[in-house]
């Protein structure tokens, strides 16, 4: 089989394994006895989750879901709205405020089903006390530039929000809450997925202030004042409001890697899963995996013969250039290509399972032994483009982008490095 075709087939299998249509039916809660069923949620997969949920739900329901522009799946009984990601907008703010009002005043007889997937943190953008949407947007832009991990980003976001970090659950109490989550974060911690609007938050204002100091993040004065005051802490794990909250992780990055591994085995390739929670600077991880692939070619790696190194997780990109385009997957691949310098027998793919890498229109890209040579023939300097954070420009220039459109799920990044001795 052609190496690129095999890599793309593995990515497709990883995405298919996490589709809400396959996962939601296994996690339907027991209907309430006499009360209402209200469905709420946020994330890039939330509209698809809502459609599947209502298709299988035996009784009445209503609700509100907010998803990213272009990711809507119309429902019959659940309202779906679209908003901006990764920097929040007024549509997300309005949806979050409406959601807060919808869950207030519920009783113990009512059931709230919360459908959460990656991207929900930016999409549910109700600012905390005294803050404006413009304040939240400024903080988000700083977080996206500074290289903070997703755990650090969401810790800070939770302490600047009216809904995140368990605050939405507090508003819905004493209703019964059932969380159905698709994980897009390393470690699959429910408190980190979409900043945990309906689960307890173990982090504190002290943690949030430490993150600001670590990265030298410049905050609007009103935001800094809110953090310094630390007056309204998020609900903690021992809070009784969570006594009637149950949480199910319905799709995980590891399961998607295992689905890709099956495709590899069927093609006679030995799969090696490096882990589903790899983090770090994208270009650096690319260089590390380039060396691992070289070692494998030399017979010193984790497998002998044809193999594929599979991994997931969420890397970070520290913005160094001006005007560069791309995301963490293309930057990972460009860092790998530069490190490989045209080494024979190594091919790779890296894509975001939601279908969008960063803010462009591609899921990621592919590389092969001839990538750098084709780029040079097109007049491009790979190292200069990497320094400028313009990995998108590199892969667009050699026509090696992976463009699949919204996948309607999100279990974070998928990486496969194919080693063919």
Domain boundaries, the chain: 3-12+254-419, 19-251
Query: Low-confidence residues of the chain, pLDDT below 50?
Result: none
pTM: 0.92
* pLDDT score recorded for residue 1: 76
Q: Domain spanning 3-12+254-419 has what CATH number? A: 3.40.1480.10
Class of domain 19-251 as given by CATH: alpha beta
* pLDDT score recorded for residue 4: 97
Task: From 420, 286, 278, 273, select the one nearest 341 (Cα to Cα).
Answer: 286
* pLDDT score recorded for residue 323: 63
* pLDDT score recorded for residue 324: 73
Task: From 270, 273, 275, select the one nearest 304 (Cα to Cα).
Answer: 270
* pLDDT score recorded for residue 389: 92
* pLDDT score recorded for residue 146: 87
Share above pLDDT 90 across residues of the chain, in percent, rounded to a whole number: 91
* pLDDT score recorded for residue 358: 80
Task: Please name the residues in contact with 418: beta carbons below 8 A apart, sequence gap of 6 or more.
Answer: 3, 6, 7, 269, 306, 307, 308, 346, 347, 348
Assess whether the region 3-12+254-419 and the region 19-251 belong to the same CATH fold: no
Looking at the DSSP assignment, which residues form a beta bridge with residue 360?
none
């Amino acid at each position: 089989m052609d190496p690129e075709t095999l890599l793309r087939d593995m990515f497709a299998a990883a995405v298919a394994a996490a589709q809400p249509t396959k996962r939601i039916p296994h996690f339907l809660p027991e209907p309430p006895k006499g009360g209402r069923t209200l469905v709420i949620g946020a994330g890039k997969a939330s509209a698809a989750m809502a459609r599947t949920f209502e298709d299988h739900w035996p009784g009445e329901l209503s609700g509100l879901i907010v998803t990213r522009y272009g990711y809507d799946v119309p429902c019959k009984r659940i309202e779906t709205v679209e908003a901006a990601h990764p920097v929040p907008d007024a549509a997300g703010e309005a949806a979050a405020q409406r959601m807060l009002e919808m869950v207030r005043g519920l009783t113990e007889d009512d059931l709230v089903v919360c459908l959460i997937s990656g991207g929900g943190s930016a999409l549910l953008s109700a600012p905390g006390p005294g803050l404006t949407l413009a304040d939240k947007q400024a903080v988000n832009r700083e977080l996206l530039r500074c290289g903070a991990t997703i755990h650090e980003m969401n810790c800070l976001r939770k302490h600047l929000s009216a809904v995140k970090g368990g605050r939405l659950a507090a508003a819905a109490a004493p209703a019964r809450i059932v969380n159905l989550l698709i994980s897009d974060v390393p470690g699959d911690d429910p408190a980190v997925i979409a900043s945990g609007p309906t689960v307890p938050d173990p982090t504190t204002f002290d943690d949030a202030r430490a993150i600001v100091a670590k990265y030298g993040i410049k905050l609007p004065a009103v935001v800094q004042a809110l953090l310094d005051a630390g007056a309204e802490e998020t609900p903690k794990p021992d809070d009784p409001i969570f006594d009637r909250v149950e949480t199910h992780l319905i799709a995980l990055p590891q399961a998607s890697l295992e689905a890709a591994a099956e495709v590899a085995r069927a093609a006679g390739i030995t799969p090696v899963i490096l882990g589903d929670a790899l983090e770090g600077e994208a270009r650096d991880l690319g260089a590390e995996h380039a060396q691992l692939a070289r070692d494998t070619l030399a017979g010193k790696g984790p497998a002998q013969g044809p193999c594929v190194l599979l991994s997931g997780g969420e890397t970070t990109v520290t913005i160094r250039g001006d005007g560069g385009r791309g995301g963490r997957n293309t930057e990972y691949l460009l860092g790998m290509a530069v490190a490989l310098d045209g080494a024979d027998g190594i091919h790779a793919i890296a894509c975001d399972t939601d279908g969008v890498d960063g803010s462009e229109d591609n899921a990621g890209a592919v590389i092969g032994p001839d990538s750098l040579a084709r780029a040079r023939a097109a007049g491009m300097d790979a190292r200069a483009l990497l320094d400028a954070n313009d990995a998108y420009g590199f892969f667009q220039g050699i026509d090696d982008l992976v463009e699949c459109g919204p996948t309607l799920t999100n279990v974070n990044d998928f990486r496969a490095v194919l080693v063919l001795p």
